Structure 1
Amino acid sequence: MLDFYFSYRGVLKRLRSGALGGEMDRFAEHFFSLGYKQASAKIYLSRIARFSQFAATRSGPMPIHQDVIDSYLSTFITDTPRIGAVSALGHAWRVAPERFIISFPSEEAHPDAPLLAYFSDYLHRVRGLEPKTREGVLLGGRRFLDWFRHHHLGQDLEALTAEQVLAAVEHRLSLSATSSSRAAATSHIRTFLRFLYWAGHHRQDLACVVPRTPSWRMAHLPPRLAWDDVRQAIDAIGATTPVDIRDRAVLLLLATTGIRNGELRAIRLKDIDWRTGEVFVRRTKGKRDRVVPLLEETGAALADYILRARPKVDSPYLFLSFAPPLRPFKCASPVSRIVRKRLRHGGVELGRVAGAHLLRHSLATQLVRQRRPINEVADLLGHRSINTTALYVKVAASQLAEVALPFPGDAA
């Protein structure tokens, strides 16, 4: 596979020499399977070969130790080539881990790492929280511990008092700008204190002393776009490049089904039922699978993406990144960037909230204005409670006026 990137015999001989020379063809196949451009793959292979020759002078063909890697990285004077070498060695380790003996520090040696790991396991196994929710609660617990260690150095958690808890809460609230972030901060502290009591790290459940901050979720209108603006942004996307074709399919699927960012990233090719015009949405936020309708225009955009634009890689997921390595979107940021970019190009003015959820709010608002039954909207969005969907009823001001009762004593 190495001769796909290099043709000169002398170069191939040099690349296949060194401590990792026998693995170079595997490395080349690795970059090819990930969809790296030929020029990028050649750079990575050259970096690995350079380290391979250095390691041969230190350790020979035996497994490469951490001190050899550290010695090699210390030869770089500036940061840019060192960062490139670290990236290349990361690929080499993932492909041939048996050739390395490397120790990776966990949690950057955080002093409370064992306790936080136990807390994370508690959130998963006892509370049954999803990874994204777990991440936020765990961060809240870490921040509480950081504050406690900083202000009460050397004190054990068993000696934690209610006054100290209130001081920590006051500190966190001073850093929160909105009612929702204040409510989340106090909720995370409350959960962590319950864990300390449950795990036997404190003899009292101090969660009861944490005040509840008011957060009226029905007090504000949800961020949303006019449906004409959504339509304008979608129509502004061309169909000349693979990226355009993919982005148009992404926006149409989000705007016409109301699925969440994570649900879109989890869709697989087999989840689309072309005959019935439906998309199977896996394990949603409410921990239930559901089916959403696939409109004709959206189905045509998806078919165009799959047939003409989707990278030819072995992946079961529908949407893939075009930047190497070619793979599914691993987090929410790429999808949010696509939405923001396309809305801006369509001339839509964006506020603070602009992502997949903005299109979800916009669809729900449009359906309510079309007088669709509220339970039908709830089923489409995957809400477990009708009260969650009731948030969108407030935007239908004209319909609310129709059901308003006459004012008492009105002569009319």
Structure 2
Amino acid sequence: MGRKVWVPVVSGPLAPYAAGFWSWLVSRAYSRSAAADGLYQFDQLSRWLAREGLGVGDLTGEQAERFARARRAAGVVSWASPRSVALPLEYLRQLGAVPPPAPGCPVGPLEELLADYGRYLSIERGLCDHTVFDAYVPAARLFLSERDGSDGLDLARLAAADVSSFLARECPKRSVSGARDLVCALRSLLRYLHLAGLITTPLVWAVPSVADLRDRALPRGLDPAAVRRLLASCDRRRFVGRRDFAILLLLARLGLRAGEVAAITLDDIDWRAGMLLVHGKGGREDALPLPGDVGEAIVSYLRRRPRCECRALFLRVTAPLQGLNRCTVAWVVRAACDRAGLPRVGAHRLRHTAATQMLHAGASLPEIGQVLRHREQKTTAIYAKVDHAALRPLARPWPTPAGVS
């Protein structure tokens, strides 16, 4: 028999929602003891609302912070931070019982400009949130923060010398790829400032190019033995092992990006046709054939996958039960490297591995580009350098002295 769990009784304004909150926690893979702790917190929050003379509709983010401050002032350690009230608020907001969070209003000219720039990137350019908020907007903030003063951003006086001095100071702090990303983000910002009429002169020309060293190096894929060791490191007797095995196969066989693996839903697999719908960069969607071994790995994982409302294919192991993100997929690869005793590599290394293995199997560069969904042929052309069999007839013989064989 399992250990008995004491389930608290909730009183106060939140009492009608207690049973639903308990079921909601259990459905998200929280254990009964963890759900009981959450219900006890729910009761403490409800009692505090009653003491303050507040109803359910008065429970806003500000009131939740007041509740946390009151617990800290009373010397209570548990549930004393605003984040600790996140679960009750999320549940009640889903029901519409409490007001939604108030949207943060940008304060100051810099924040207003960055908010408009973010909307431009998302709506006009169609970039994903990761690219917008993790790459382009931070780079814009770094560049514009130097101009943020009491008189505003003073963009009318922005000149090419300001762009050059910024890059000369920031690029040496980064790797080649980091400098290339910064330059790309800065070009996008300057293009937006000109389109928005905030600067009169287009300063994109003032941004120099970073030497592209990708054409000087070979794509680094893993050898087949290393891939086998990665796959063998997954304990497929367990749910997490079956999940990781399917993820590694998708990366190594189809060359998917980490974000594309995380974005797969249960509805993206057409089992009858044997096709997989891939959600790629820039909202692009492509249907790829699902190899038999990959499909078998996914089926094996689905037999252990918990039943829940989340439609994401790959789920977290711990509560709350929700889909993975691109960082978690990358961590699956690193953890497999640790288990296999291999140096850590990123998820993108398995994409290179898929390309080089297709090349060695006789696939043409256009075919590889179709599988990897490259928009430009020059992106796929880098794999021509690892096709030693095709390059060998092009190599000139080594010169030898006359009469020496």
TM-score by length of 2: 0.87
Q: What is the rounded CA distance, in whole Å, between the counterparts of 1:79 and 1:192 in structure 2?
A: 47
Q: Specify whether residues 155 and 88 from structure 1 end up closer, same or farther in structure 2 by C-alpha distance, changes over 3 A only.
A: closer
Return the alpha-carbon distance in structure 2 between the equivalents of residues 66 and 126 of structure 1.
32
What pairs up with 1:315-394 in 2 under 5 angstroms?
Answer: 315-329=310-324, 331-350=325-344, 354-394=345-385
1:228-271, Cα deviation, whole Å (9 max, x unpaired): 10012212322221111111111122211111112212222233
* Residues 138-157 of structure 1: CA deviation (Å, up to 9, x unaligned): 2211111123337x975522
Q: Could you say what secondary structure the match of 1:325 adopts?
A: coil
Indicate conservation of the 8 Å contact 1:31/1:41, yes or no: yes
- Counterpart selection for 1:264 from 261, 266, 272: 261
User: What amino acid is aligned across from residue 360 of structure 2 in structure 1?
Assistant: R
Aligned to 2:92: 96
Q: 2:228 aligns with which of 227, 231, 235?
A: 231
- Which residue of 1 is the match for residue 175 of structure 2? 177
CA 1:401–1:301 in 2, change beyond 3 Å: closer, same or farther?
Answer: same
Q: Specify which of 16, 20, 23 is matched with residue 14 of structure 2.
A: 20
Which one of 147, 160, 163 corresponds to residue 162 of structure 1? Answer: 160
* More divergent stretch after superposition (152-161 vs 103-112): 103-112
Letter in 1 for 2:316: S
Aligned to 1:120: 118
What residue number does 1:305 align with? 301
Match of 1:289 among 285, 292, 305: 285
What pairs with 1:146-225 in structure 2 (closer than 5 Å)?
146-149=145-148, 156-178=154-176, 180-225=177-222
Of residues 319-328 and 265-274 in structure 1, the stretch that sits farther from structure 2 once superposed is: 265-274
**Paired position in structure 2 for 1:63:** 58
**Equivalent pair of 2:235/2:242 in contact (CA under 8 Å):** yes
Instruction: State the AA in 2 paired with 1:25.
Output: A
Q: How much has 1:341 moved relative to structure 2?
A: 0.8
Quote the Cα distance in structure 1 between the aligned partners of 2:352 and 2:120: 33
Q: Distance in 2 between matches of 1:373 and 1:60?
A: 69
Give 1:314's match in structure 2, choosing from 309, 313, 316.
309
Q: Distance in 2 between matches of 1:132 and 1:233?
A: 28
CA distance in 2, matches of 1:149, 1:240: 57
1:383–1:70 CA distance, 2 compared to 1 (3 A): closer
- When residues 359 and 63 of structure 1 are mapped into structure 2, their CA distance, relative to the original with a 3 A threshold, is same
Partners of 2:126 and 2:283 within 8 A in 1? no
Check conservation: 2:106, 2:115, Cα contact below 8 A.
no
301 and 110 in structure 1: CA distance in 2 versus 1, 3 angstrom threshold: farther
Q: More displaced, 372-381 or 392-401?
A: 392-401
Judge conservation of contact 2:220–2:352 (CA < 8 Å) in 1: yes
Q: For the structure 1 residues 310 and 408, does the alpha-carbon distance in structure 2 shift closer, same or farther, using more than 3 Å as the test? A: same
Paired residue type of 1:338: V
Which amino acid is 1:139 matched to? P
- Determine the C-alpha separation between the residues in 2 that align with 1:261 and 1:358: 11
Alignment partners' CA distance in 2, 1:319 and 1:342 = 16
Amino acid at match of 1:148: R
Q: In the aligned structure 2, how far is the partner of 1:318 from the partner of 1:395?
A: 34
Whether the 8 Å CA contact 2:109–2:152 is kept in 1: the answer is no
Q: In the alignment, does 2:248 pair up with 1:254?
A: no
Deviations, residues 287-309 of structure 1 (Å, cap 9, x unaligned): 543233333322222111112x1
Deviation at 1:111, TM superposition (A): 5.4
Question: Cα offset for 1:327?
Answer: 1.3
Deviations for 1:3-31, whole angstroms, at most 9, x for unmatched residues? x9755xxx42xx1x123222222322321
Cα distance in 2 between the residues matched to 1:33 and 1:251: 28
- In structure 2, how many angstroms separate the alpha carbons of the residues matched to 1:406 and 1:213? 35
RMSD: 2.9
Q: Residues 80, 403 of structure 1: CA spacing in aligned structure 2 closer, same or farther, 3 A cutoff?
A: farther
Number of residue pairs matched by the alignment: 394
Deviation, 1:223, is 3.0
Residues 193, 207 of structure 1: 8 Å contact kept = yes
- Structure 1 unmatched runs, 5+: none
TM-score, length-scaled by structure 1: 0.86
Aligned-pair distance for 1:362? 0.9
**Alignment-derived partner of residue 131 in structure 1:** 129
Counterpart of 2:33 in structure 1 is: 39
| Residues 316 and 322 in structure 2, CA contact (< 8 A), matched pair in contact too | yes
Partner amino acid, structure 1, of 2:351: R
**CA distances 1:298-356 after superposition (whole Å, capped 9, x unpaired):** 2222111112x111112332211121111111x21111111111122122222xxx232
**Cα distance, 1:66 vs. partner?**
5.5
Does the C-alpha gap of structure 1 residues 293 and 60 become closer, same or farther in structure 2, counting only changes over 3 Å? closer
Residue type matched to 1:20 in 2?
Answer: L
Q: Which amino acid aligns with 1:344?
A: D
Distance 2:278 2:98 in 1: 41
Identity level (%): 28
Q: SS at the partner of 2:281?
A: coil
Is the contact made by 2:274 and 2:289 (CA closer than 8 Å) also made in structure 1?
yes
